[in-house]
Amino acid sequence: MNNYDCVIVGSGPAGFGTAFELLKADPSAAVLILEKAEVSTGGLRNDCKMNFSWPIGFPTGVWQQDQAESYLERVIHFLKPDILAKHNLGIYSRRAARLGVQLMDIRQAHLGTDGGLELIRHLTKSYTDMGGEWATGEEMTGFCDPIDGTDIRIQTTHREIKCKNLVLATGRGGFRFLQSVMDDIGIPYIDHIVDIGVRIELKEERYPIVQDYYDPKFVFPRGVRTFCTNSRSAYVVRERYTNADGQPYFSVNGHAWSEKRAQNGLANFAMLKTVRLTEPLASGQDFAEMLGLQAMLLGGGKPLMQRIGDFRLGKRSKTESFNGDLYDFEPTLKGCTPGDVSLAMPAKILREIWKALKSLDTIIPGVLHPSTIIYYPEIKLYANKPTFRDDFFQVSDNIYMIGDGAGTSRGITAAWASGIRAADGIRASGN
Ligand SMILES: Cc1cc2nc3c(=O)[nH]c(=O)nc-3n(C[C@H](O)[C@H](O)[C@H](O)COP(=O)(O)OP(=O)(O)OC[C@H]3O[C@@H](n4cnc5c(N)ncnc54)[C@H](O)[C@@H]3O)c2cc1C
């Protein structure tokens, strides 16, 4: 069958959010999820840390607090997460407040990379049991015909498909694809916000807050924040991206395994600065990609890493910096070049991140131990924020854009919520 009530492109949390909501409301609906990989590739599959409190993951331009909280309740009702307990936050919050830093109190659950894969398997089975259809290893490449508003005809790597509603949930990795779709059907968009920063790796004993609060969210002045903290069995990884001209660059990231795996005594977290380009308005993605390529140039095609001990002395790290007695742990990311982060990072971003790190070291003394490693770059390309024509993320007749790729989320739970919101729109339209 190549004719559906709804085709959802992308099997991340945004796509799942729409799919389950549509099938719950109408079990006879013909719903297809199209996924170019063999399995969902986003955050569900990597670490799967879930935040259930406003405003984490919710871009404030498209969400109000009340609205987000009511959708979050629906996400919780469906996913039934085990919310992690938090302890002893008072002392950290008081120290933070004295420095003008906020420690946000967020409800969290953590499945780990292995737990996330189990969740994907469970979701896939439930979706199929509810009558939903899957097509993995199949990519949407574009539209077939001019869209006439009733039936939408899309082209995939395998076939032509007709549908009444199309939901594009292609995630951050699909942002170029989304751009091409918006260009094709004439939807204006902007992409002027980007997060750029570093990943910090250190001994867990030097960041003991993680035993009290799994992913502590510190918000520093001037758009700097901690992000995606991993501990217990934590690793730094690198992800390969290509820019518009096909040139490759890496962004670092982090993940942890569930508690079933052996602990490695390390923790890692990102320290990110949000950069908003204004006059003259330029593409945040192009800017961030240029920085990614510059880091590749200096790192000989790999990300850079530098020990805090070297950074403080204003000298580059060398292979020896990763062997000496002061430097008391090995980096978990092997494909990285010891170097000088300050040579690669724009001064303004580096200055703000370094200030934030010094504040964090005052709140939790030990963070800036000489052995702590700074990895660069960690780049979060969020969205080509489309112009939405209604409150349900509809961009053109019966075409919806949701999730991280469309700027309606910045995390698993908000992506899921935006999927439910699009499903509400489809149901309200009666199409
Ligand atoms: C390594 C990593 C770890 C992360 N860890 C966390 C975390 O622990 N907690 C958290 O809240 N967030 C995390 N995130 C962010 C999180 O992944 C996203 O916020 C969330 O997954 C966004 O959901 P989405 O549905 O918009 O997109 P995604 O989850 O990215 O899903 C998009 C899907 O669309 C598919 N796709 C793209 N283009 C096409 C096409 N043309 N045709 C068919 N299929 C296509 C992709 O293969 C992908 O499976 C992480 C991200 C990464 C990269």
Q: Output the pLDDT for position 128.
A: 96
What's the residue count for the chain?
Answer: 431
Ligand 1, closest atom to CA 177?
41
pLDDT tens digits along 181-212: 998 889 988 877 889 999 999 999 999 999 99
Nearest to 381 by CA among 291, 300, 302: 291
Under a CB-based contact definition with an 8 Å cutoff, are residues 196 and 377 in contact? yes
Residue 75 CA to ligand 1 centre (angstroms): 17
Going by DSSP bridges, is the β-strand pair 152-156/394-396 parallel, antiparallel, or unpaired?
A: unpaired
Structure confidence by residue, pLDDT tens digits, 362-394: 999 999 999 999 999 999 876 678 999 999 999
Nearest to 375 by CA among 409, 335, 346, 410: 335
The first and second tokens of residue 311, run together, are 């950074």
DSSP code for 71? H
pLDDT of residue 176: 80
In one-letter notation, the amino acid at residue 161 is I
Ligand 1 pocket, CB under 6 A: 9-15, 34-37, 40-43, 46-50, 57, 139-140, 169-174, 177, 253, 403-405, 409-412, 415
Tens digit of pLDDT for each residue in 52-63? 999 999 998 899
For residue 101, give the nearest of 213, 211, 225, 210 by alpha carbon. 225
How confident is residue 344, by pLDDT bands cut at 50, 70 and 90?
Answer: very high
Query: Closest residue (by CA) to atom 27 of ligand 1?
Result: 171
> Best mutation site among 72, 228, 240 for ligand 1, i.e. most ligand atoms within 8 A of its Cβ?
228
Q: What is the pLDDT, as a whole number, of residue 16?
A: 96
Measured in Å, residue 68 CA sits from the centre of ligand 1 at: 20
Question: Which atom of ligand 1 is found nearest the CA of 419?
Answer: 25
CA of 403 to the centre of ligand 1 (A): 8
Phi, psi of 65 (to 5 degrees): -60, -50
Ligand 1 nearest-atom number relative to CA 41: 49
Q: How remote is the CA of residue 13 from the centroid of ligand 1, in Å?
A: 7
Expressed in angstroms and rounded, the spacing between residue 254 Cα and the centre of ligand 1 is 15
Please list, in sequence order, all residues whose beta carbon lies within 8 angstroms of the beta carbon of residue 410, skipping any fewer than 6 positions away. Answer: 57, 58, 59, 380, 382, 404
Which of 253, 346, 252 lies closest to 302, judged by CA? Answer: 252
Nearest CA residue ID for atom 52, ligand 1: 43
Residue type, 42: G
Classify domain 2-86+106-190+384-429 at the CATH class level: alpha beta
pLDDT of residue 375: 98
pLDDT higher than threshold 70 for residue 146? no
Query: What are the tens digits of pLDDT across the range 214-250?
Result: 999 999 999 999 999 999 999 999 999 988 889 999 9
Average pLDDT (7-12) is: 96
- Using CA positions, which residue lies closest to atom 39 of ligand 1? 170
Distance 41 CA to ligand 1 centre (A): 6
| CATH 3.50.50.60 domain residues, the chain | 2-86+106-190+384-429
Prediction pTM value: 0.90
CA distance linking residue 328 with residue 330, whole number of Å: 7
Amino acid at 2: N
> 239, 230, 144: which is closest to 185 by C-alpha?
144
CA 231/CA 236 separation, integer angstroms: 11
Give the pLDDT confidence score for residue 295 in this predicted structure. 97
Residue 333 · residue 375 · CB < 8 Å? yes
What confidence score (pLDDT) does residue 42 get? 67
- Comparing 139-143, 165-169, 318-322, 331-335, the range with the smallest average pLDDT is 318-322
Q: Which of 164-168, 234-238, 353-357, 379-383 has the lowest mean pLDDT?
A: 379-383
Measured in whole angstroms, how far is the alpha carbon of residue 174 from the centre of its chain? Answer: 12
Confidence band for 147, pLDDT divided at 50, 70 and 90: low
Atom index in ligand 1 nearest the CA of residue 37 equals 47
Q: In what order do the strands lie in the sheet with 373-381?
A: 102-104, 217-220, 224-230, 266-276, 193-203, 373-381, 304-307, 337-338
Nearest to 417 by CA among 8, 17, 7, 16: 17
